[in-house]
Structure 1
Amino acid sequence: MFETIWPLITVVIGIILLLSLIIFMKLNTFIALIITSIVTAILLGMPLDKIIETIEKGMGSTLGHIALIFGLGAILGKLLADGGGATRIADTLINKFGHKHVQWAMLIAAFIVGIALFFEVGLVLLIPLVFTIAKRANVSQLKLGLPMVVALSVTHGFLPPHPGPVVIAKELKANLGQVLLYGMIIAIPVTIIAGPIFNKMAEKIIPSAYRREGDISALGAQKEFTEAEMPSFGISILTAISPIVLMLIATIVQLITGHEEAKNGIESFIYFIGTAGTAMLIAVLLAMYTMGFKQGRNNAEIMDSVSNAIYPIGMMILIIGGGGTFKQVLIDGGVGDTISKLFEGTEMSPILLAWIVAAVLRIALGSSTVAAISSTGIVVPLLQSSDVNVALVVLAIGAGSVILSHVNDAGFWMFKEYFGLTVKETFLTWSLLETIISVSGLVFILLLSIFV
């Protein structure tokens, strides 16, 4: 009996070790992940001469797919921000909606911008705008900020080209276009529930949080654009969503024809430009023109934006790779097989199980991306005997990986500090909204699984 459950005990020990290294010893997350992977491999009884090979395999297989998309995504976001496109999208929507519906404007702007920008980048870019608009409209900073972070968090958890969904889709061999299509269907109602609807409830639950004055001085001076310096609204929107459009077109063609692989030249071309890497490259080239040359920026300035986009994501890429090594150790060490045997004959939906695994790891580890990647090593064996739509399992892991952000998550502290909240207020706003995103996401995924 002990031998049967030992792999599961090993996972618990590994997670406790990882938490201890990060929280108590203040070790860098990447280094902590590598150490944890090695210790876990030893505890699982893997041959010593195979451990580093497994770690290299996990690092390579994870980053081999995501590095291209992650890098191009960071460049696209930086070009959109430096070219004034993100500011134009937000300003235009806020002007169109007016002061009365300003939170809806912020929600939609953050959702559009969030597709192209990673969570942390979108947060740093949009928070100064939230503070400015809140002062102008004479409303609480949190009333505008909460819908904004909801939109950014939903796109981060559910939609490619964000790293979590991309890596999970690759590991589970899911169609990335289907993940995007179903993710969009789920993301819209989830954003509305966790955004404007929860905003009204939170204002009654913790009114003191809505009277706080935030501090964004740590962000430094923010660039302000004149009307002439910003591109048009249409061009800005087109640039931001161009990779999504290309991927969706390829997916829709695939669903209509029923062809997983191209059968003629036209389909080959559509599938080629709709591949995530190609779509992102086309979007970056478009952004270099629309957010660069067309705005009068010279080549040196544009290349500065490209270079500056890459520097901040170096450590994030390593952390994602570190998550991949832990995932690979769980797979090669037989943890997935153990869990698969435990759930043999179970009536539990693989979607629900995937969500539970990701949720537990998220609460324990803090990082949604690491939790999502680590979950795949446990979930993969369960899918071999199931006919569930794999794209929905990807989204279920994404939903589970955003649940209950708390003190071991950097996002918790960023939200607290920027909006000047107490720890209690942060739990009742940020932690609660992340949980609502996760649970409502699961509900809509299960509903969608009835039809697809």
Structure 2
Amino acid sequence: MPLLITVIGLIVLILLISYFKLHTFLSFLVVSLGVGLALQMAPSQILQAIQHGMGSTLGSIVSIIALGAMLGKLVAQSGAAQRISVKMMNIIGTGYVRWAFMITGFIVGLPLFYSVGFMLLAPLVITVSYRYKLPAVYIALPMLASLSVTQGYLPPHPAPLALVKQFNVDMGLTLFYGIIVAIPAILISGALFGATVKKYITLPNKAFIAPDLAEKEMPSTFISFASVLLPILLIGISTLLIPYFPENSFSSHAITFVGDPIVSMFISVLFAAYFLGIKQHKKMAEVTVLLGDSVKEVAMLFLIFGGAGALKQVLTEGGVSQSIAGMMQASSMHPLVLAWGMAAIIRVAVGSSTVSGITTAGFVAPLLAATHTEPHLMVLSIGAGSMMFSHVNDAGFWLFREYFQLSMADTLKTWSVMETLVSVSGLAGVMALNAFIG
């Protein structure tokens, strides 16, 4: 019975969001209340579960989301992303421009939200396509594959970060495994599939051609790369160094502190505020306005996270998790494949990779102990599933179509197929890594 109620609840959630166009946060609240009552929870218990679920979910990630948005805004406005792209093209050569953008997309996508990375790199892609008379989609897909993979697989992006927190796994090791899985996924969905789309020669939207900044207007190459990579370096170095110091020593605590995602992002924002703001001749008041605007752009994401956390907690306290765990113990399907499939179904139905990842996490969390599944790989499996087949209910679909001016059919043949390959190749990579480390 709990499983049937859960399925009905998910169907209602999908209909409310995709058919009735009710706001995602309100849809989550409606379904959370309805599922709680159907599971015969007391009204006071439902309300307490909703409050606890929202608080626990937001409490661990809201700071990182806000700081990530701030860093992305500074990188976008300062010309640091343009500097990175130009440098990569100079090194690799114009004949390999799509490879340059693929690598740039991966570097920029590590700490930045997908939408931020898209909006700061897509105009550069369009500008290059006009300048060198190359098909824009042919150049863009490898870069977009990189952005999609980093968004779906790798912390400190919101959904992978929430999974890391919920499964209580090491972020550094998750990031290490994630990069191993990400590289072949990008090559398959971006480089190989991207090479087949050269026939799509529709001219992109001229309105999005990025103005070229003068050499003196852009930050240096070192500062540009350092600003984007600093949070990743701090987290990675901390993970590598911590085993070499006594557990309760001052050095151990200091390294752990600096390597914490919130602290590393905070340090990176301060670094960027000075070197990409003040040193670029902006007044502190201007930098502050940029930082404030960046948080406004992700404010709605906080509500979506809170709503997903509320439903997760209602399902947990209503006994659904235990029912799923019992069912899975008797299932012949591998837990990593099941988690991927569940995330993929929710993604296709709802259109949000973030909602897909967090919602799936609430279902599969009890399976980790029951099935002894590698939790770091579970994060990656859900992340890969959450990228499955983006279509008309996904904002990214329309963003791509608007920038590159493709027909609906051609958008499905390019963008949607690329996202599907990101998802499927990610699962293949996770299963291969599971066989190797298992």
Specify the TM-score bucket, using the shorter chain as the normaliser: over 0.9
Q: Tell me which of 221, 242, 250 is aligned to 1:233.
A: 221
Residues 404-432 of structure 1 deviation map (CA, whole Å, 9 limit, x = unaligned): 11222111222222212222212221111
1:212 aligns with 2:202: yes
Q: Distance in 2 between matches of 1:13 and 1:343?
A: 19
Q: Which runs of 5+ in 2 are unaligned?
A: none
Residues 358-412 of structure 1 deviation map (CA, whole Å, 9 limit, x = unaligned): 1121122211000100011110111122333211111111111111112221112
Q: What's the CA shift for 1:345?
A: 4.1
Residues 40-92 of structure 1 deviation map (CA, whole Å, 9 limit, x = unaligned): 22222222221111111111111000101111111111111122111111122
Q: What's the CA shift for 1:25?
A: 2.4
Q: Tell me which of 366, 374, 383 is aligned to 2:351.
A: 366
TM-score by length of 2: 0.95
Amino acid at match of 2:343: A
The answer for the alignment partner of 1:392 in structure 2 is: 377
- Choose 314-323 or 345-354, whichever is displaced more: 345-354
Asked whether the equivalents of residues 358 and 375 of structure 1 are also in contact (C-alpha less than 8 Å), the reply is: yes
Residues 296-315 of structure 1: pairs in structure 2 closer than 5 A? 296-315=281-300
Asked whether the equivalents of residues 128 and 216 of structure 1 are also in contact (C-alpha less than 8 Å), the reply is: no
The answer for the alignment partner of 1:56 in structure 2 is: 51
Amino acid at match of 1:107: M
Residues 130-186 of structure 1 deviation map (CA, whole Å, 9 limit, x = unaligned): 110011111101011111211110110111111011001111111111111111221
Asked whether the equivalents of residues 262 and 271 of structure 1 are also in contact (C-alpha less than 8 Å), the reply is: no
Asked whether the equivalents of residues 138 and 197 of structure 2 are also in contact (C-alpha less than 8 Å), the reply is: no
Residues 13-62 of structure 1 deviation map (CA, whole Å, 9 limit, x = unaligned): 22222222223322222112211221122222222221111111111111
Q: Residues 229 and 186 of structure 1: is their aligned pair in 2 closer, same or farther, counting only changes over 3 Å?
A: same
Q: What's the CA shift for 1:344?
A: 1.6
The answer for the alignment partner of 2:68 in structure 1 is: 73
| SS at structure 1 position matched to 2:348 | helix
The answer for the alignment partner of 1:252 in structure 2 is: 240
Residues 175-213 of structure 1 deviation map (CA, whole Å, 9 limit, x = unaligned): 11111111122112211111111112344xxx3xx1212
Residues 132-171 of structure 1: pairs in structure 2 closer than 5 A? 132-171=127-166
Q: Distance in 2 between matches of 1:19 and 1:58?
A: 20
The answer for the alignment partner of 2:79 in structure 1 is: 84
The answer for the alignment partner of 2:186 in structure 1 is: 191
Asked whether the equivalents of residues 22 and 29 of structure 1 are also in contact (C-alpha less than 8 Å), the reply is: yes
1:46 aligns with 2:35: no
Asked whether the equivalents of residues 202 and 428 of structure 1 are also in contact (C-alpha less than 8 Å), the reply is: no
Amino acid at match of 1:299: M
Residues 220-256 of structure 1 deviation map (CA, whole Å, 9 limit, x = unaligned): x8564221011111111111011101111122234x5
Residues 242-321 of structure 1: pairs in structure 2 closer than 5 A? 242-254=230-242, 256-257=243-244, 262-321=247-306
Amino acid at match of 2:182: A
Amino acid at match of 1:68: S
Q: Distance in 2 between matches of 1:145 and 1:197?
A: 13
Asked whether the equivalents of residues 127 and 210 of structure 2 are also in contact (C-alpha less than 8 Å), the reply is: no
Amino acid at match of 1:323: A
| SS at structure 2 position matched to 1:105 | helix
Q: Distance in 2 between matches of 1:423 and 1:81?
A: 29
Residues 85-139 of structure 1 deviation map (CA, whole Å, 9 limit, x = unaligned): 1111112212322221000011111111112320111111111111100111111
The answer for the alignment partner of 2:13 in structure 1 is: 18
- Choose 375-384 or 346-355, whichever is displaced more: 346-355
Amino acid at match of 2:221: F
Q: What's the CA shift for 1:8?
A: 2.3
Asked whether the equivalents of residues 80 and 291 of structure 1 are also in contact (C-alpha less than 8 Å), the reply is: yes
Asked whether the equivalents of residues 33 and 322 of structure 1 are also in contact (C-alpha less than 8 Å), the reply is: yes
Asked whether the equivalents of residues 103 and 146 of structure 2 are also in contact (C-alpha less than 8 Å), the reply is: yes
- Choose 113-122 or 160-169, whichever is displaced more: 113-122
Q: Distance in 2 between matches of 1:57 and 1:236?
A: 40
The answer for the alignment partner of 1:3 in structure 2 is: none
TM-score by length of 1: 0.92
Asked whether the equivalents of residues 158 and 395 of structure 1 are also in contact (C-alpha less than 8 Å), the reply is: yes
| SS at structure 2 position matched to 1:292 | helix
The answer for the alignment partner of 2:427 in structure 1 is: 442
Sequence identity (%): 42
Asked whether the equivalents of residues 321 and 366 of structure 2 are also in contact (C-alpha less than 8 Å), the reply is: yes
Amino acid at match of 2:75: L
Report how many residues are paired: 437
Instruction: Give the superposed CA RMSD.
Output: 1.8
Misfit runs of 4+, over 6 Å: none
Amino acid at match of 2:189: A
